[in-house]
Amino acid sequence: MLEVVRKVADLRAKTAQYRAGHASIGLVPTMGALHDGHLTLARSAKLDNARVIATLFVNPKQFGPREDFAAYPRDEAADAAMLERVGVDLLFAPGLEEMYPENFSTSVAVGGLTQTLCGLARPHFFGGVATVVTKLLLQAMPDRAYFGEKDFQQLQVIRRLVRDLNIPVAIVGVPTIRESDGLAMSSRNAYLSPAQRRMASALPQILQETVAELRAGNPAATILPGAKSRLHKAGFDRVDYLELCDEQTLQPIAIARPPARLFVAAFIDKTRLIDNWPVI
C-alpha cells in the first residue's frame, strides 16, 4: 500500500524505519503528471533497492516568470495510483511552504555545465533544479536516486552537484522511454493538440536522421543547418538549439567522436519539447 507523507519529519521517520531494517532506499524525484517514463524510473529503483520513495513536487524555482508553472498538469490521485501499481512504497508530496518556508534564502548553483543548451534559454532552470534536488536528496538520504536521460543535461548537472558537494548517493541514469512514433514521453506532451501531436513525431525522426549523418563523419556545421530547416518545415516554430556536444562537458563539438550526443529543444506554438540521442 502506497503511503503519502507531506512533511520532511514524516519522511525522515519512514526512512529511519527502513534503515533500521537495513533496507536500501531508492529515490525517484518527479513533478507528477506521471507517464511510463517516470514509472520506468520507479521500476528500475524497485530492482535495485528494498524500498522506493517517489517525490511529487512542482518546483516553482525551476520555472521562469513567463513559463507554465500555473498551467503545469497536476493530478496527485492518478499519480499515486500509478506509483502504487508499480510497487512504490512511499510518496513524498510536500506543499510549497514545507519546501520553501518564509525567508528561504539558499540556492545551489552548478557552474559550467549549466551555461549551455537549456541553461541559455532558461537561465533560472538549473538553479531551481539543483536547489530542489539537493533538498530532496538531503531530506530522504537515499542510497540511489534515479533520473531520466530524456533530461540529459539535468542528469549531468545532478551528477556534478552530488560529486562536488559530497552527497553520499549514487545517481542512476535511465534511458528515455518513447511513444510508439518515437516521441519522448513528457508531461508537457499533454499541451499538444492532436494536430500538433502528429507534427511532434518529426522531432525524433529528424533527430535520428541527423545522428546518422553525423555518425557518417560529416561535420556538424554542414549537417545541422539543414536539419534545423527540416524542423521548421515540419511545423516547429522556433528551434532553441540543435547541437552536437560532448556528453561529459556538454560543449559543442565539430565532428562526432565518443562520447557525443545530439541535443535539441524546439517549440510547437508555446510547447517546448526537448530530446537527445547518442551519436556514437
Q: Catalytic residue positions? A: 38
- Contact 192/268 with Cβ under 8 angstroms? yes
CB of 15 or CB of 154, closer to ligand AMP: 154
Give the footprint of ligand AMP on residues 217-236 (CB under 6 A): none
Alpha-carbon distance of 191 to 71, in angstroms, equals 9
- Other Cβ atoms within 10 Å of 83 Cβ, number: 25
Alpha-carbon distance of 227 to 204, in angstroms, equals 12
Which residue of this chain has its Cβ atom nearest to ligand AMP in the complex?
148
Residue 240 grid coordinates: 532553441
- Contact 117/250 with Cβ under 8 angstroms? yes
* Main-chain dihedrals φ then ψ at residue 238, nearest 5 degrees: -145, 135
Does residue 271 belong to the site contacting ligand AMP (CB under 6 A)?
no
Binding segment toward ligand AMP, per CB under 6 A, in 63-71, 74-82, 171-179, 216-224: 171-179
- Contact 147/154 with Cβ under 8 angstroms? yes
CB of 134 or CB of 187, closer to ligand AMP: 187
CB of 148 or CB of 224, closer to ligand AMP: 148
From residue 175 to residue 194, what is the string marking binding to ligand AMP with x (rule CB under 6 A)?
Answer: -xx------xxxx-------
Binding segment toward ligand AMP, per CB under 6 A, in 31-39, 82-90, 104-112, 198-206: 31-39
CB of 157 or CB of 256, closer to ligand AMP: 157
Applying CB under 6 A, which of residues 99, 174, 202, 253 lies at the interface with ligand AMP? Answer: 174
CB of 214 or CB of 274, closer to ligand AMP: 274
Alpha-carbon distance of 182 to 78, in angstroms, equals 25
Does residue 153 belong to the site contacting ligand AMP (CB under 6 A)?
no
Strands (E), the chain: 3-5, 25-30, 51-56, 90-92, 144-148, 170-174, 238-246, 260-268, 271-278
Give the footprint of ligand AMP on residues 36-95 (CB under 6 A): 37-38, 40-41
Applying CB under 6 A, which of residues 79, 151, 213, 243 lies at the interface with ligand AMP? Answer: 151
Report the nearest approach of ligand AMP to the CB of residue 37 (Å).
2
Binding segment toward ligand AMP, per CB under 6 A, in 12-20, 82-90, 173-181, 210-218: 173-181
Cβ neighbours for 80, distance < 8 A, ≥ 6 positions apart: 2, 4, 91
Q: Residue type at 110? A: V
Residue with cell 532506499: 25
Residues that bind ligand AMP (CB under 6 A): 30-31, 37-38, 40-41, 147-148, 150-151, 174, 176-177, 184-187
